[in-house]
Amino acid sequence: MNLRTLGQATIILALAIQFAVWIPGPPLRPDQFSLPKDVALCVFGAICAFQLMLRTRVSWDWKVDTPVLAALAWGFLLTVLVATNGIAGTRAVGTYAAGWSIFLFTRSAYTRSENGGVYLATCWVLVCIALVVLLEAFGVLPFFSEPGRRPGGTLGNRNLVARILCLSLPLFWRQLLLVEKPVMRRILAVSVMLLVGAIVLSRSRGAWLVSAGLAISLPTATWLFFNGRSTGGTRDAVRLWTAAIVIGVAAAVFVPNRLGWGFADFASSAERLLDLEDGTGRGRLIQSVTTLRMIEEEPLLGVGPGNWGILYPAFARSGDPSLTPESIYPAPHQPRGDLLSLTAEFGLPGLILMMAATWGVICRALVMRRDQRPQVRYSGLMVIGLVASTIILGMSDPIVRLSPTLVLVSVLVGLGLAHADIADVETPLRNSSRHVVKHVILAGCVVASLVAALGAGRDAAAIRALTSMDALEDIYKAVRIAPNNVEAQVVLSYVLVSINRCEQAMPHLMHAAKLQPYSGAIARLRSRCSQNPVSVQ
């Protein structure tokens, strides 16, 4: 099997497993969907980095890869120096390293080669996601996504599904422009209709706004940039695109669904598109203000990667809807947005490095749109649309923080940038000194990805043990599996305190308090032990 075939198999398998894997069975909770996907991302990131180590030549774009590498190194340094929870910091950096490895592998495996097959295969994976969501929404499949977040399919959360399908629209527009067979074009148009229907059914306001913008801007940009080279195929693509979107929206709104949502429900969501006074809009605004206070307090070094949710309670004020002070985790695991939260974690130097990498990607894509080859210029347009959508969605939703969206963005940007001739910005890591540097960098990505995968895997196993526990020994087993899992430590401590074994509970409470210093549940258990320290053996 040559590198190209192996690369295609690796990428499609990574996408399929990433989107499909979850831990079935009640009780349904976010960890059952997110942790297996974290494991899948990091394992495939390590596989991609290892395959790159075996190559004699790896392309290096100084405008894109250097700032990303610098941001990862900066994040690791912050984890060592300032992070309150170093475990969370290591996991975060390892996850980002895995995403970067997938991007590098995708771009290197397809540089200057035909990759239409992997584009189409990616489309079919995404269509399968939309189909599962629609079948769940219309009662063909039983509900298996997270309660209160349905229909989410195997991703568990309808908002996450909406973001993934929204980010997929530039890919499907590219395919509509390039595919020449009428039958395949119609199949792609039906696929777009399914994607749009699932996005509408999500009632995710951010995805609605960005999808509407993409639906209009992609054909408009194509006409503005490539009007002199437009063909009958382009006009056909616009007609199919428009018809698919209109039919998809109408079917989602007017066909009765299992959730009982009708036209009035969708109209209510549409009326609140820009509402910041009530509901989730108000929560996002308050959370942004609190995150800004974190940035003002630590503008240079930040609070450390992965530590936003751990230190958020120290900056939150009374009445903050994101705060649940008496719970094990007083703040959300994931913030409602990437831009401010990543700045709070990585500091302003980290933000500058991320902006430099993003600008490098945009510059490359802008150069590609002037290429005479259709597959190159439409790939550049796809990358521009994808990056713009990621930035806009990332202002109010987590994108690069979540494994499914991180994988999708890494793969699509890597595929897009693989088309261009980057001789003017590329330095091959081929000679002896660069060969050593390449192996050091990629080995670091392998190690970081595997460490993050191990941590996520342990947490998943511990959560599974806790949800099926029958005796005290099951809780001890969960703690042994994942000693840094705060929930396992607190549950064990709660049981021990309840049977007056405070001396045994205190070491677990002390360890949990180091990982979650602002947890009200931990503080309450420690207070009970302080008031009644007698231990019954």
Query: What tens digit of pLDDT does each residue of 325-357 get?
Result: 889 999 998 898 899 999 999 999 999 999 999
| 104-163 confidence digits (pLDDT tens) | 999 887 665 556 788 999 999 999 999 999 999 998 999 888 888 899 999 999 999 999
Position 99 pLDDT exceeds 90: yes
Q: Above pLDDT 90, what percent of the chain? A: 66
The distance between the two most distant Cα atoms of the chain, rounded to a whole number of Å, is 85
Q: Above pLDDT 70, what percent of the chain? A: 91
Paired strand residues for 535: 501
pLDDT bin (cut points 50, 70, 90) of residue 536 is: very low
The predicted structure's pLDDT at residue 69: 96
Q: HSE of 145 in the Cβ direction (CA atoms, 13 Å)?
A: 27
Listed range (69-73, 265-269, 434-438, 455-459) with the worst mean pLDDT? 434-438
| 379-406 confidence digits (pLDDT tens) | 999 999 999 999 999 998 999 999 999 9
| Buried-exposed string 29-49: b where 16+ CB fall within 10 A, e elsewhere | eebbbbbbbbbbbbbbbbbbb
pLDDT bin (cut points 50, 70, 90) of residue 3 is: low
pLDDT bin (cut points 50, 70, 90) of residue 252 is: very high
The predicted structure's pLDDT at residue 239: 93
Helices (H) and strands (E) in the chain, counts: 20, 0
Q: HSE of 156 in the Cβ direction (CA atoms, 13 Å)?
A: 23
Burial (0-12, 13-18, 19+ Cβ within 10 Å), 232: exposed
Q: How far is the C-alpha of 355 from the C-alpha of 374, rounded, in Å?
A: 28
User: Which whole number is the average pLDDT over 191-214?
Assistant: 95
Percent of residues in the chain assigned helix, strand, coil, to nearest 5: 70, 0, 30
| 279-334 confidence digits (pLDDT tens) | 677 888 899 999 999 999 999 999 999 999 999 999 999 888 989 988 999 999 88
More confidently predicted of 77 and 139: 77
Per DSSP, helices labelled H in 203-307 are 205-226, 232-254, 263-271, 279-297
Q: HSE of 491 in the Cβ direction (CA atoms, 13 Å)?
A: 22
The predicted structure's pLDDT at residue 475: 92
CA distances from 370 to 232, 247, 472 (A): 20, 33, 66
The predicted structure's pLDDT at residue 112: 52
Position 194 pLDDT exceeds 50: yes
**Highest mean pLDDT pick, 165-174, 176-185, 325-334:** 165-174
Q: How far is the C-alpha of 366 from the C-alpha of 490, rounded, in Å?
A: 52
Listed range (53-67, 71-85, 407-421) with the worst mean pLDDT? 53-67
Position 421 pLDDT exceeds 80: no
What pTM was computed for the model?
A: 0.93
| 350-388 confidence digits (pLDDT tens) | 999 999 999 999 999 999 888 888 888 899 999 999 999
CA pseudo-torsion sign 515, 484, 335, 386? positive
The predicted structure's pLDDT at residue 461: 93
The predicted structure's pLDDT at residue 268: 84
The predicted structure's pLDDT at residue 420: 67
